[in-house]
């Protein structure tokens, strides 16, 4: 019997990648063969995102790509957008199945008949029912693994749909996180990135209750002791949940790397209040100062939203100047887009889209300047590089522990290996060249 072929496409965040990978393994257990999305498959599974307007639009394009390769293929949509707007996705030409927040992990149960449907079938829970935890991690896709430790969010940020798409904050058990970390390290993967919706809230809902059995500090402390993991990286963590003790632990850690990604969203306290963020900009300065105090070489990334309702030129310049003066390494800039069923969508003071775009472009320019400045400070230092697995125009790329991107001529023997190097100069494309010092192949 010829096994059916399945292909996956993931939109959005590291958390989505970890869940796609876990869902893909469930297909393998059922006898399916996984193929690349650009190849012919019997089933195409698209894991959707709802964070930006662009991710919504891309969905239709991806469905068309799948249909071009195999017009008779069964197309399933899962993920955040599938939970928020299942009927909208079901109406997209070619979509056969839409699964919500809890159903996506049981997708193979819905695939008894792979006949194309005239209309997309929807199986979507009420988001209140998404109150149980499903552990996930990505493996086999990249040289690093994304390990999900937490899901959902109890915050009420006025621009965000994630609580509506993923439900309440809940955590994996410490025992299961450590077991998954060991499984990943046994596969020869050198780096694990901790991921979740609000990972600093780790411990809430660990055993189905609201109280914290463990804290995020407990989690990183225990993970640091797991043998076989070369590198651990913390993905995005809220500034109010990034405690001094965690920063101190990373500074002395065996495996955790000096890289933090801390969402700011605005450098104006007026706008932060309208967003219902849980801190003011003074706390953010305090967090960055603490990181740089104990790890001067640490990389600090920032999320920022431009064009939020009510953001005047003065508010925007306040944000720009705040970031310009802060000792940070790069920005992820998001142009605000209205999302249904959020408070912000009903707010006055809508910023015209051309002004949003202009502000976004200016901040992206600032990000390039910040990254260049950070890289320049690293020249002449000795760092450890983990090389990626892709040949990009004759070069192999890698990242130092503090997230400096380097390049060297392609050599397949370098893939997924660690090397101590001296950073020597910044290339014309803004990447860093280096001299090998020693191989740390393990």
pLDDT tens-place string over residues 52-102 = 667 667 899 999 999 999 999 999 999 999 999 999 999 999 999 999 888
Q: Tokens for 284?
A: 């953010």
Spatial distance between the Cα atoms of 116 and 94, rounded to a whole number of angstroms: 8
Summarize the confidence of residues 139-162 as an average pLDDT: 90
Percent share of the chain, pLDDT over 70:
97
- Give the pLDDT confidence score for residue 243 in this predicted structure: 97
Calculate Rg over the CA atoms of the chain. Answer: 22
- Give the pLDDT confidence score for residue 128 in this predicted structure: 75
- Give the pLDDT confidence score for residue 133 in this predicted structure: 81
The chain-wide mean pLDDT, for the chain, equals 93
pLDDT tens-place string over residues 384-427 = 999 998 899 999 999 999 999 999 999 999 999 999 999 999 99
> Is a pLDDT exceeding 80 seen at residue 118?
no
- Which domains are delineated in the chain? 5-125 (3.40.50.12160), 131-257 (3.30.750.210), 382-439 (2.40.50)
Question: Quick check: 385 and 395 in contact, CB under 8 A?
Answer: no
Partner residues linked to 423 by β-bridges: 434
- Give the pLDDT confidence score for residue 52 in this predicted structure: 65
Spatial distance between the Cα atoms of 262 and 241, rounded to a whole number of angstroms: 10
Q: Tokens for 133?
A: 């935890």
């Amino acid at each position: 019997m010829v096994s059916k072929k399945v292909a996956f496409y993931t939109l959005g965040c590291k958390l989505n990648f970890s869940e796609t990978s876990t869902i893909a393994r469930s297909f393998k257990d059922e006898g399916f063969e996984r193929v690349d999305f650009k190849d012919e498959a019997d089933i195409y599974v698209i894991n959707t995102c709802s964070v930006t307007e662009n991710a919504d639009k891309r969905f239709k394009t991806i469905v068309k790509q799948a249909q071009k390769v195999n017009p008779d293929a069964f197309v399933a949509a899962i993920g955040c957008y599938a939970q928020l707007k299942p009927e909208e996705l079901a109406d997209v030409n070619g979509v056969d199945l839409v699964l919500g927040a809890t159903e996506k992990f049981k997708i193979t149960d819905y695939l008894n008949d792979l006949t194309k449907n005239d209309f997309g079938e929807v199986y979507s829970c009420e988001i209140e029912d998404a109150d149980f935890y499903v552990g996930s991690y990505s493996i086999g896709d990249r040289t690093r693994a994304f390990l999900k430790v937490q899901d959902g969010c109890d915050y009420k940020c006025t621009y965000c749909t994630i609580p509506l798409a993923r439900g309440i904050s809940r955590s994996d058990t410490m025992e299961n996180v450590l077991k998954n970390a060991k499984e990943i390290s046994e596969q020869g993967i050198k780096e694990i990135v901790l991921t979740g919706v609000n990972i600093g809230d780790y411990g809430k809902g660990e055993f189905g209750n609201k109280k914290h059995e463990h804290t995020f500090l407990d989690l990183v402390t225990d993970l640091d002791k797991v043998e076989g993991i070369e590198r651990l990286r913390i993905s995005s963590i809220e500034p109010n949940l990034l405690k001094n003790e965690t920063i101190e632990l990373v500074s002395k850690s065996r495996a955790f790397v000096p890289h933090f990604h801390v969402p700011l969203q605005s450098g104006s306290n007026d706008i932060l209040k309208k967003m219902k963020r849980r801190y003011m900009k003074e706390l953010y300065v305090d967090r960055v100062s603490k990181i740089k105090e104990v790890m001067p070489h640490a990389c600090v990334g920032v999320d920022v939203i431009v064009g939020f309702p009510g953001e005047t030129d003065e508010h925007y310049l306040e944000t720009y100047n705040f970031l310009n003066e802060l000792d940070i390494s790069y920005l992820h800039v998001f142009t605000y887009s209205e999302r249904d069923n959020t408070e912000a969508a009903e707010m006055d003071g809508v910023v015209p889209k051309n002004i949003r775009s202009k502000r976004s472009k200016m901040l992206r320019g600032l990000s390039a300047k910040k990254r260049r400045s950070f890289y320049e400070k690293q020249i002449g230092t000795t760092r450890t590089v983990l090389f990626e697995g892709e040949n990009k125009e004759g070069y192999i790329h890698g990242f130092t522990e503090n997230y400096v991107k380097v390049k060297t001529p392609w050599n397949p023997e370098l893939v997924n290996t660690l090397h101590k190097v001296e950073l020597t100069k910044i290339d014309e494309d803004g990447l860093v060249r280096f001299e090998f010092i020693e191989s740390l192949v393990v």
